[in-house]
Chain A
Amino acid sequence: MADKDTNAIRDMGSFYQRDRAWHPPAFTPQYKTSVLRSPQHALLSMEGTVSEMTGPRFGHGQLGPLDNDLIHNFSRDGEPIGQRIIVHGRILDENGRPVPGALLEFWQANAGGRYRHKREAYLAPLDPNFGGCGRTITDDDGRYWFRTIRPGAYPWPNGVNDWRPAHIHFSIFGHAFTQRLITQMYFEGDPMIWQCPIVSTIPDRAAAEQLIAALDRNNTLPMDALAYKFDIVLRGRRSTLFENRMEGN
Chain B
Amino acid sequence: MVQKLDMLKETPSQTAGPYVHIGLTPNWCGIDGVYPEDLGRVMVGPQAEGERITVTGRVLDGSGTPLKDALIEIWQADAAGLHNSPVERRGAADPHFSGWGRQPTDGVTGEFRFETIKPGRVPYKDGRLQAPHITFWIVARGINIGLHTRMYFADEEAANAECPVLARVEHKVRVPTLIAPRSEGKDGVAYTFDIRLQGEKETVFFDV
Q: Are B146 and A36 in contact (CB under 8 A)?
A: no
Given known contacts A24-B12, A44-B168, A117-B19, A31 and B35 CB-to-CB distance under 8 angstroms: no
Interface of B, helix, strand, loop or mixed by DSSP:
loop
Given known contacts A107-B23, A117-B22, A133-B23, A52 and B9 CB-to-CB distance under 8 angstroms: no
Binds B, one of A79-87, A140-148, A169-177, A217-225: A169-177
Query: In the complex, which residues of chain A have a beta carbon less than 8 angstroms from the beta carbon of B77?
Result: 51
Please tell me if B44 contacts chain A, counting CB pairs below 8 Å.
no
Q: Are B34 and A117 in contact (CB under 8 A)?
A: no
Contact with B along A175-200 (1 / 0, CB 8 A): 11110111110000000000000110
Q: Are B13 and A105 in contact (CB under 8 A)?
A: no
Q: Are B207 and A116 in contact (CB under 8 A)?
A: no
Choose from B62, B133, B169 the contact partner of A37 (Cβ within 8 Å). Answer: B62
Choose from B7, B12, B20, B206 the contact partner of A43 (Cβ within 8 Å). Answer: B206
Q: How large is the interface on A (under 10, 10 to 19, 20 to 34, 35 or more residues)?
A: 35 or more
Query: In the complex, which residues of chain B have a beta carbon less than 8 angstroms from the beta carbon of A119?
Result: 18-19, 69, 107
Q: Are B7 and A236 in contact (CB under 8 A)?
A: yes
Complex: A235 Cα to B99 Cα, angstroms? 22
Q: Which of B13, B63, B85, B147 has the most CB of A within 10 A?
A: B13
Q: Are B75 and A177 in contact (CB under 8 A)?
A: yes
Query: In the complex, which residues of chain A have a beta carbon less than 8 angstroms from the beta carbon of B11?
Result: 181, 183, 210-211, 232-234
Query: In the complex, which residues of chain A have a beta carbon less than 8 angstroms from the beta carbon of B53?
Result: none
Question: From residue A155, how far is it (CB to closest CB) to chain B in Å?
Answer: 13
Complex: A135 Cα to B21 Cα, angstroms? 13
Query: In the complex, which residues of chain A have a beta carbon less than 8 angstroms from the beta carbon of B10?
Result: 18-19, 22-23, 94, 181, 233-235
